[in-house]
């Protein structure tokens, strides 16, 4: 049995394409894998705070030396990291906002990229200072875009700071098995959007069916 962490980051409700597709993905997954368990976090509607100076002080102070103030500053981050590490598979809805990820999702990432927990820092190893600690995981990212052409070779390729960023930051922690599912042309609506949604749904069904 596997444990899934389902994360949504869109602030939109039922109009959100990424929310709709992550929900369908998880529902189909549970039909195929009824023994798997799921945790859910919504950082779009319930955003986590941005990191601040007390958080940084706590993150870079050994836990045994934490004052009550530092313990409080890092408490939520510890919970988020525990939740993240407990998962085997991640189903994440991350729309493209201004060519990157929503600020709510960036805040979440800043909370879980933790030295000693999700990445190791070994300054004496000049060839490999940072070592990933989150290994053997699988991730599916569902991304809604207002337009199309952000893929390699597309007219907006150089403006895509979404997919490369997620590949980099999650790879930094050790997650390299990442599959992207894109819903494009959200701003256009109509047939363009309908065709993209249909294509994404087909991809979801194929991915769920192939992971048995």
Which helix (H) or strand (E) segment holds residue 68: the answer is: helix 68-86
* 190 pLDDT more than 90: no
Mean pLDDT of 153-172: 95
Binding site listing: 10, 16-18, 96-99
Rounded distance between C-alpha atoms, residue 83 and residue 42, angstroms: 13
Mean pLDDT of 147-163: 91
Superfamily name with CATH number, domain 3-210: Flavodoxin domain (3.40.50.360)
Strand partners, 179: 140
- Per-residue pLDDT at 127: 83
- Per-residue pLDDT at 83: 99
| Out of 11-20, 33-42, 51-60, 66-75, least confident range | 11-20
What's the pLDDT band for 212 if we cut at 50, 70, 90? low
What's the pLDDT band for 211 if we cut at 50, 70, 90? confident
pLDDT tens digits for 104-150? Answer: 999 999 999 999 999 999 988 888 899 999 999 999 999 999 888 88
- Per-residue pLDDT at 148: 86
| Out of 124-128, 151-155, 202-206, least confident range | 124-128
Mean of pLDDT over the chain: 95
* 187 pLDDT more than 80: no
* 47 pLDDT more than 80: yes
Q: Bigger pLDDT: 81 or 12?
A: 81
* Two structure tokens written together for 85: 């590490």
What are the residues whose beta carbons fall under 8 Å from the beta carbon of 62, sequence distance 6 or more?
none
Structural domain boundaries in the chain: 3-210
Rounded distance between C-alpha atoms, residue 46 and residue 108, angstroms: 11
For the residues of 144-185, what is the DSSP string, one character each?
E-SSS--STTSTTGGG--SHHHHHHHHHHHT---EEEEEE--
Binding site listing for FMN: 10, 16-18, 96-99
* 64 pLDDT more than 90: yes
Q: Bigger pLDDT: 168 or 211?
A: 168
Mean pLDDT of 59-78: 96
Rounded distance between C-alpha atoms, residue 129 and residue 210, angstroms: 36
């Amino acid at each position: 049995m596997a444990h899934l962490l389902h994360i949504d980051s869109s602030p939109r409700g039922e109009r959100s394409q990424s929310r709709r597709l992550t929900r369908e993905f998880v529902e189909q997954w549970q039909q195929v894998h009824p023994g798997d368990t799921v945790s859910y976090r919504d950082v779009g509607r319930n955003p986590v705070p941005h990191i601040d100076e007390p958080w940084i002080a706590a993150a870079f102070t050994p836990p045994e030396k934490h004052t009550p103030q530092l313990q409080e500053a890092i408490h939520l981050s510890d919970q988020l990291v525990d939740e993240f590490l407990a998962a085997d598979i991640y189903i994440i809805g991350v729309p493209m906002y201004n060519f990157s990820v929503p600020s709510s999702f960036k805040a979440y990432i800043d909370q879980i990229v933790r030295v000693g927990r999700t990445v190791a820092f070994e300054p004496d190893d000049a060839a490999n200072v940072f070592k990933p600690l989150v290994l053997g995981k699988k991730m599916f990212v569902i991304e809604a875009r207002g337009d199309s052409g952000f893929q390699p070779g597309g007219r907006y390729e150089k403006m895509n700071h979404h997919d490369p960023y997620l590949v980099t930051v999650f790879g930094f922690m050790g997650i390299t098995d990442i599959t992207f599912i894109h819903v494009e042309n959200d701003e256009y609506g109509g047939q363009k959007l309908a065709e993209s949604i249909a294509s994404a749904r087909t991809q979801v069904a194929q991915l769920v069916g192939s992971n048995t």
